[in-house]
Amino acid sequence: MLAGVVGPDPAALRNQANQLLGRLPGKMPGADQDTPFLIKLGKELYFEKRLSVNHSISCNTCHPVDHYKPGADNDPTSDGAHGQRGQRNSPTVFNAGFHAAQFWDGRAKDLVEQAKGPILNPVEMAMPSEAEVVKRLGAIKRYQKLFVSAFPGAPGQITYEKAARAIAAFERTLVTHDRFDDFLEGKDRALSRAELEGLNLFLTLGCTACHQGALLGGTTFQKVGLVHPYTSTNDLGRFVVTKDESDLFKFKVPSLRNVALTPPYFHDGKVATLQQAVRQMAYMQLDRPITDAQARSLVAFLKSLSDERFRAL
């Protein structure tokens, strides 16, 4: 922007952003029912490598939340217990409970259902059965006590369903708060001039057609390569789940919260930088080739969506 030219009006942008996107709630759906004991058990299980067949990985391995990590491992795809790579990029677990469904193809309806998947997936944690998971946990005295505290109505009974419910309870605590939230709440100085310009472009370019709501995504499924095809068509997307041809190459629109902290990008993790992802999405989805300056502007805004607790990458 040229010197002397007035930048975007923060109040007008705030009003527009609140109307189009809205504010992220402080709690995820279902969190009001989670007790401290249930959350404690879930956290233990989230970090528990004995939930993998050879004690080599945990939920936290692919979705690290400790040491100021953003809930994603920053690999294109992740190694499973046997060293085999998965097909899709591991998305961040932060704010996941706000999403309309779980996994890139939406095959799990909620966090509980999602938690059950990787433990038994032969490419991921590779446990042979639910019964083996229950047997392994039941042999550990600490878990015997934790399950009793977390589920006082059924003392002594460890089940796979309860383990998943506990992991989901812990994941429901992983809610972020960033400078964009501060801006929406009325703090003009929360965003820099460059970030305000990026927000203005984000709201006017057409990005909100897919990146909707307070998550800026996570609520719909869209074809990747809507106008211009994506470079890879090996993954059929949601079609694998629904067998509906209209779902070919459709994936859940990712939330843009913490997006600057979670490279690489797209369902296959093949786009290395946020600037590349922004330019590619504008062209593929909107038929809007954008300039380097516009890409930098959008990236500046997207960086404001990083929870300040996390280290910058």
- Indicate the pTM of the whole model: 0.94
Alpha helices by DSSP H, listed for the chain, are 10-20, 36-46, 59-62, 111-120, 130-138, 141-150, 160-171, 179-184, 193-205, 239-242, 274-286, 292-303
What per-residue confidence (pLDDT) applies to 6? 56
Q: In sequence order, which residues have a C-beta less than 8 Å from that of residue 296 and are 6 or more positions away?
A: 275
- Please tell me which residue in 124, 171, 195, 197 is annotated as part of the active site: 124
Using DSSP bridges, classify how beta strands 250-252 and 221-223 pair: parallel, antiparallel or unpaired: antiparallel
Looking at residue 309, its pLDDT comes to 83
Confidence category of residue 1, pLDDT binned at 50, 70, 90: very low
Amino acid at 241: V
Equal fold, 10-24+177-303 vs 31-171: yes
Output phi, psi for 168, to 5 deg. Answer: -60, -40
Amino acid 219: pLDDT = 96
124 is an active site residue: yes
Sorted by where each begins, the domain ranges of the chain are: 10-24+177-303, 31-171
Statement: residue 272 has pLDDT above 90? yes
- pLDDT tops 70 at residue 40: yes
Structure tokens at 254: 């990712």
Residue 3: predicted pLDDT: 43
**Residue 66 pLDDT more than 70?**
yes
**Residue 4 confidence class, pLDDT cut points 50, 70, 90:** very low
Per-residue pLDDT at 5 exceeds 50: no
CATH of 10-24+177-303, one of 1.10.760.10, 3.30.930.10, 2.170.270.10, 3.30.420.40: 1.10.760.10
273-300 mean pLDDT: 97
Using the 8-state DSSP alphabet, how is residue 16 labeled? H
> Under CATH, which number does the domain 31-171 receive?
1.10.760.10
Mean pLDDT of 281-303: 97
pLDDT of residue 43: 98
Are 213 and 21 contacting, i.e. CB atoms less than 8 angstroms apart?
Answer: yes
Mean predicted lDDT score pLDDT of the chain: 95
Biggest CA pair distance of the chain: 71
* Omega before residue 264 within 30° of 0, cis: yes
What would the pLDDT profile of 141-182 be if each residue is shown by its tens digit?
Answer: 999 999 999 999 877 799 999 999 999 999 999 999 999 999
Residue 262 confidence class, pLDDT cut points 50, 70, 90: very high
